[in-house]
Structure 1
Amino acid sequence: MEEELLWIQDVLSGNKHAYAHIINKYKNPLYATILRMTRNPQDAQDLVQEAFIKVYHQLGKFDGNGSFSSWIYRVAINHCMDEFRKKRYQMKQVEINEEKMVNSNHPEVIFLKKEKNRQLERLIATLPEDERMIILLRYANELSYNEISEIVELPLSDVRNKLHRAKKKMRDIVKREGGYFHEMSNGG
């Protein structure tokens, strides 16, 4: 955090090159989150670039209360939500290359991992936008409840409730339709 504050001060003092440090630190996690929101790699890249431009212009508004990572996620996610509302964004199916995430090169392991990831992506896509966002922030980005609360600007109790409801909805679908996530349907 201290290093980030130095980068912010450098940028605000006119050293535009210091902003590259911020981009390098956050581009991959933001891209991963936005890709899961859009399910389209090109749209995700565009939205990440636009979000970084917005962050750059709003950098002076970061007051140091709370973590910088929560603040940058909030700016990026709010930008995406604004764009979704403006364009009435339609979710698109996309093949995410899961093979890069698989340690084993055995074809059966690769197939099973891909199928499990596809089913999980489909489950998450059934959720309302606000619950989907909280699930992604919690499990894809491994953020704490407090960080999520800051990002989505909701009380901690609302974050917990939305997360609980989202997991229940996903469990209900698994119970109804079956699939790889039987452990979820047993309260896991």
Structure 2
Amino acid sequence: MTHAAPTSPGSPDPGEVALVAEAVAGNPDAVARILRDLQDPIYRLALRMTGRPADAEDATQEILLRVFTRLAMWRGEAKLLTWAYRIGVNHLLNQRRRSPQEAAHLSLDAFGDKLAEGLAADHPGPDAELLATEVRLQCSQAMLQCLTREERVAFVLDDVFGIGSAEAAWILDITPTAHRKRLERARKRLRTFLTSACGLVSEQARCRCTRRIEYAVSTGRINPQRPELATHPVSPGAATAERQMIALHDAAAIFQAHPDYALPGAKRNAVAVLLKSGRFPLLADRTE
């Protein structure tokens, strides 16, 4: 059965067309600007899909190298970031399973059962707020890993990143109707789970972030000396998760309430060095 290809989400931006032409021609400033514009959004996508910063950093490097080696093939059929998302999504949907939840095919029901284990009294001490934030961020990442990859990326693009259905469908190379069906499945599953399990969404739910701290620390899920997500680098001027949580109004807001994570400096520099090494040349000859 043949499906209609998703419609291109936009017309060429003259500024982006000129910038890409300069980069393909070898202008290092243009290459640096494109890298600067793409690296953090691609990292945020990779982090939501893989669940862990180390895996997201590796995936981001691989995606950015793919983007730059194909740069001359960009025809302005979508915004440059949208086009880069399409390359990134294809890579992320096909890489091997890495997160514990995904590798174990953990369902939301099974994850909910795990959340009910080890609930204790509210964690005391001056680090309680920081560690509760870490628990919340880690937990929402784990919830996403319980979705299928197709459901997860549809939810992340549309409900977390705010990309419209037409643009998300183009990124995923499916019809808008197919995208909306995947999105609704993801929304329904997460809404049902959060309403029954998460104290941030429902007062009747048992689980509270402050009551999960002791268990998360004792099992090594979080490191109280080095919280991985609560102290993660963020993009300049990014809204904090705490400010976003003030506007919490539905289940989707749990996943929106992450800061705008930035690709850590070491990996950022590594990508720049690789691009300058000559091992990954830009495609200087555009195919007609």
Q: Please, what TM-score do these two structures have when normalized by structure 2?
A: 0.53
The structure, 1 or 2, with the larger RCO (C-alpha pairs under 8 Å, 6+ apart) is 2
> 2 CA distance for matches of 1:125 and 1:69?
24
Provide closer, same or farther for how the CA distance between residues 73 and 176 of structure 1 changes in structure 2, counting only shifts above 3 A.
same
> 2 CA distance for matches of 1:177 and 1:41?
25
Query: Which residue does the alignment assign to 1:158?
Result: 178
Runs of 5+ unmatched residues, structure 2: 1-12, 102-125, 203-249, 253-288
Counterpart secondary structure, 2:70: helix
Provide closer, same or farther for how the CA distance between residues 119 and 53 of structure 1 changes in structure 2, counting only shifts above 3 A.
closer
Question: Where do 1:75-90 residues align within 5 Å?
Answer: 75-82=87-94, 84=95, 88-90=96-98
Q: Which has the larger radius of gyration?
A: 2
Query: Which residue does the alignment assign to 1:177?
Result: 197
Question: Where do 1:1-188 residues align within 5 Å?
Answer: 1-82=13-94, 84=95, 88-92=96-100, 110=130, 112-182=132-202, 183-184=250-251
Aligned residues: 169
> 2 CA distance for matches of 1:123 and 1:38?
12
> 2 CA distance for matches of 1:184 and 1:73?
25
Conserved? CA contact 1:134–1:159, under 8 Å: yes
* Deviations 1:91-137 (CA, angstroms, capped at 9, x unpaired): 147xxxxxxxxxxxx96654554444344323222111011011111
Query: Which residue does the alignment assign to 1:96?
Result: none
> 2 CA distance for matches of 1:120 and 1:42?
17
Structure number having the greater helix percentage: 1
* Deviations 1:48-102 (CA, angstroms, capped at 9, x unpaired): 11111111111121111222221111112212233x1xxx322147xxxxxxxxx
> 1 CA distance for matches of 2:194 and 2:159?
18
> 2 CA distance for matches of 1:108 and 1:184?
24
Q: What letter is aligned with 1:153?
A: D
Q: What letter is aligned with 1:136?
A: V
Q: Please, what TM-score do these two structures have when normalized by structure 1?
A: 0.77
Query: Which residue does the alignment assign to 1:98?
Result: none
Conserved? CA contact 1:134–1:148, under 8 Å: yes
> 1 CA distance for matches of 2:98 and 2:46?
14
Runs of 5+ unmatched residues, structure 1: 94-105
Provide closer, same or farther for how the CA distance between residues 44 and 120 of structure 1 changes in structure 2, counting only shifts above 3 A.
closer
